[in-house]
Chain A
Amino acid sequence: MNKYINLYLLEYSINSLLRQKYKNIFITTILTFLIFILSSMFFITSSIKNELQFSVESLPEITVQKLISGKHYDIEVDRVNEILSITGVNDATARVWGYYYFVNAGVNFTLVGIEQFEKQYKDSLQNLVDSSKGFDESNAYIGQGVKEIMRKNYFKEYFNFILPDGSLKKINIGGTFKSDTNLESNDVIVLSKENMRSIYGMSEEYATDIVVKVANPDEVATVAAKIKLLYPDTRVITKNDLKVSYQNIFDYKSGVFLALFIVSLFTFFIIVFDKASGLSSSERKEIGVLKAIGWSLDDVLKEKFYEGALISVFAYLLGVFLALGFVYGFGAPLLRDIFSGYSELKTAFELPFVLDVQTMVLVFFLSVPIYIASIIIPSWRVASMDADEVMR
């Protein structure tokens, strides 16, 4: 038999839990619920964070934006050539992209403009251009989410864009646009740069921003500094900056959530403390009998910890399991809006499945040790009770 786990004591503990059914179901339910909320929240953030990090990964190393009075303006296309002449720069592309508000559905689409024969800055776009059907400059290629919304509004073969002057521009839908991550392509419409400029009323000398590829990752910082020096009116963002800021934003969001959650944890601690302290007379008698027949204080304590471990580990597993189902099975209704934040404007997307072990460890630390801590003192009080009252 195992030296470390006393199976008969375990059996006794399980029976003892079952005998106090209502009290224990009550505590287990609350604990499970807390673990469920906490892990759902962490699962959602880690899922979104992962998706974002992944799409950042596919971006070029540096993005250059023009700023006037702190606001983002269109940048001159001919700056591309200047940037290309900086040593270390592999490639620079002027991007034309933006949002398009589709009034009928009340959602924002992301429009991305490309030219068929230039080198694409993203693999997903390159795949589109290289695909067997090819890229037809007069067509639009739409993401899965966009496709569904358009279908609901009876746009199946073409779509009418409203131009700045109020006239309509009809563009045929050439196919779907796919990428590795849902979040990246879901709300995207890929068009030719020419169509884009006419939709936005933008002149040919301008682009939205410039993306720069640098081959050697160690040189990124130097190249970024050079660009900044060359064009003081720009904001130069490196891929690493983006990653760090995503990490920080999501850490901060879940940090704030957790900070608010501390109150619930504390309340739970008090409830358990209270429930574990209040013993019925039959429970008191039972402990007295156990001590009278030779159980030591340590044995009673051990029994109480077996009970605590059973409850908290069970609640932990159940809570995490429910959260996995809720987040990845049902797409976390209600809760995920807190974290995605722009669901009203952006088309819906699926939360990709990421089995985040670190999150599970984190939730474990926030549940099991706290539960065990809350029963230490009540259990000791019970265990150190005098046995002699059962003899009277």
Chain B
Amino acid sequence: MIEFKNINKSYKLGKNNTVAALKDININIKEGSVVVLKGSSGSGKSSILSLVSAISKPTSGEVIVDNKQISKLSDRFASEYRLNNIGIVFQKYNLVEDISVEQNVILPLIPKNLDSDLVESKVDTALDMFGIKHYKNSTVKNLSGGEQQRVAIARAYINEPKIIIADEPTANLDEKLSLDFIEIIKDLKKQNKTVIIATHDPLFFNLDIVDKYIEMKNGSII
């Protein structure tokens, strides 16, 4: 359960110039639902994603996830929350291109300092699930865009978070790959993951798996 209560977020640009990115936002997202954030770029979609993942903090208001106020967490506990509860698929995947698929997927496990057996089994499960097991030792930069996205999804999935966030996931994909991505979302929904997608791709606008559409404009919900 994710709750936004009266959220305002503004950025300071220079001394007396503040820009309001979000204005008085109230949202409720149920566990296990798929939510699509619509809106043009600059409408505030990304700000909502970074508030859910505790990457940034609201100027005022509260973000509550599973009855926990995450908008006031200290840096250390915000990281811990993010590590255990959130998986992010970035718009440009943001993979480390010069290392292998496995080494990329492991990244969220490193801070936990787990046994190598456990790490191996987690990596194999994740790679298997997204059909990229045969690329385990390939260098990321040699993969195609669609494959890279699967690596990014595997990385987001590896810690088995409850919430998965995707920022413009289909912006760099052709239609076939985009449809593949939607299939992956279906799988995740089956596993009762909460999925939040920020996109302006019309492909998402009429899907039966989506439980909720939130349309944004100039920092407000329409």
Residues of A within 8 A of B (CB): 1, 3, 6-9, 11-12, 15, 19, 285-286, 289-299, 384, 386-388, 390-392
Q: Can you name 29 A-B pairs with beta carbons within 8 Å?
A: A1-B116, A8-B106, A11-B103, A12-B107, A15-B103, A291-B55, A291-B79, A292-B88, A293-B82, A293-B87, A293-B107, A293-B156, A294-B79, A294-B80, A294-B108, A294-B111, A294-B159, A295-B79, A296-B75, A296-B80, A297-B76, A299-B111, A390-B94, A391-B49, A391-B55, A391-B56, A391-B90, A391-B167, A392-B46
Interchain CB contact under 8 A, B110 and A298: no
Residues from chain A with a CB closer than 8 A to the CB of B83 are: 293-296
User: Which one of A298, A299, A388 contacts B55 once the chains associate, using CB atoms below 8 Å?
Assistant: A388
Interchain CB contact under 8 A, B94 and A8: no
Interchain CB contact under 8 A, A19 and B53: no
Give the complex CA separation of A285 and B90 in angstroms.
12
Give the complex CA separation of A341 and B156 in angstroms.
67
Q: A12-B110, A390-B94, A391-B90 are in contact. List 10 more A-B contacts (CB 8 A).
A: A6-B113, A8-B106, A11-B103, A286-B96, A289-B96, A294-B84, A295-B111, A296-B80, A296-B83, A391-B50
User: 8 tightest CB-CB pairs across the interface, nearest first?
Assistant: A294-B83, A296-B79, A294-B82, A388-B56, A289-B94, A299-B111, A391-B50, A6-B113
Give the complex CA separation of A294 and B108 in angstroms.
7
- Assuming the contacts A1-B113, A3-B113, A388-B50, asked whether A292 and B103 have C-beta atoms less than 8 A apart, the reply is no
Give the complex CA separation of A9 and B49 in angstroms.
28
Interchain CB contact under 8 A, B110 and A292: no
Q: What is the distance, in angstroms, from A206's C-beta to the closest C-beta of chain B?
A: 80
Restricting to B100-152, which residues have a CB under 8 Å from any CB of A? 103, 106-111, 113-116, 119
Residues from chain B with a CB closer than 8 A to the CB of A299 are: 79, 110-111
Residues from chain B with a CB closer than 8 A to the CB of A12 are: 103, 107, 110
Give the complex CA separation of A390 and B167 in angstroms.
11
Interchain CB contact under 8 A, B110 and A387: no
Q: What is the distance, in angstroms, from B185's C-beta to the closest C-beta of chain A?
A: 19
Residues from chain A with a CB closer than 8 A to the CB of B88 are: 292-293
Give the complex CA separation of A24 and B90 in angstroms.
29
Report the tally of A-B residue pairs with Cβ distances under 8 A. Answer: 90
Interchain CB contact under 8 A, A296 and B50: no
Residues from chain A with a CB closer than 8 A to the CB of B50 are: 388, 391
Residues from chain A with a CB closer than 8 A to the CB of B36 are: none
Residues from chain B with a CB closer than 8 A to the CB of A7 are: 116
Residues from chain A with a CB closer than 8 A to the CB of B113 are: 1, 3, 6, 8-9
Q: What is the distance, in angstroms, from B154's C-beta to the closest C-beta of chain A?
A: 12
Interchain CB contact under 8 A, A297 and B75: yes
Q: What is the distance, in angstroms, from A246's C-beta to the closest C-beta of chain B?
A: 52
Residues from chain B with a CB closer than 8 A to the CB of A386 are: 55-56
Interchain CB contact under 8 A, A15 and B56: no
Residues from chain B with a CB closer than 8 A to the CB of A6 are: 110, 113
Give the complex CA separation of A7 and B55 in angstroms.
27
Interchain CB contact under 8 A, B90 and A9: no
Give the complex CA separation of A386 and B50 in angstroms.
11
B155: interface (CB < 8 Å): yes
Give the complex CA separation of A286 and B90 in angstroms.
12
Interchain CB contact under 8 A, A9 and B55: no
B27: interface (CB < 8 Å): no
- Assuming the contacts A6-B110, A8-B119, asked whether A15 and B86 have C-beta atoms less than 8 A apart, the reply is no
Residues from chain A with a CB closer than 8 A to the CB of B167 are: 391
User: Which one of A15, A294, A384 contacts B99 once the chains associate, using CB atoms below 8 Å?
Assistant: A15
B98: interface (CB < 8 Å): yes
Interchain CB contact under 8 A, A1 and B114: yes
Interchain CB contact under 8 A, A1 and B76: no
Interchain CB contact under 8 A, B110 and A296: no
Q: What is the distance, in angstroms, from A53's C-beta to the closest C-beta of chain B?
A: 50
A11: nearest chain-B partner, CB-CB: B103
Give the complex CA separation of A292 and B92 in angstroms.
14
Q: What is the distance, in angstroms, from B30's C-beta to the closest C-beta of chain A?
A: 24
Q: What is the distance, in angstroms, from B156's C-beta to the closest C-beta of chain A?
A: 8
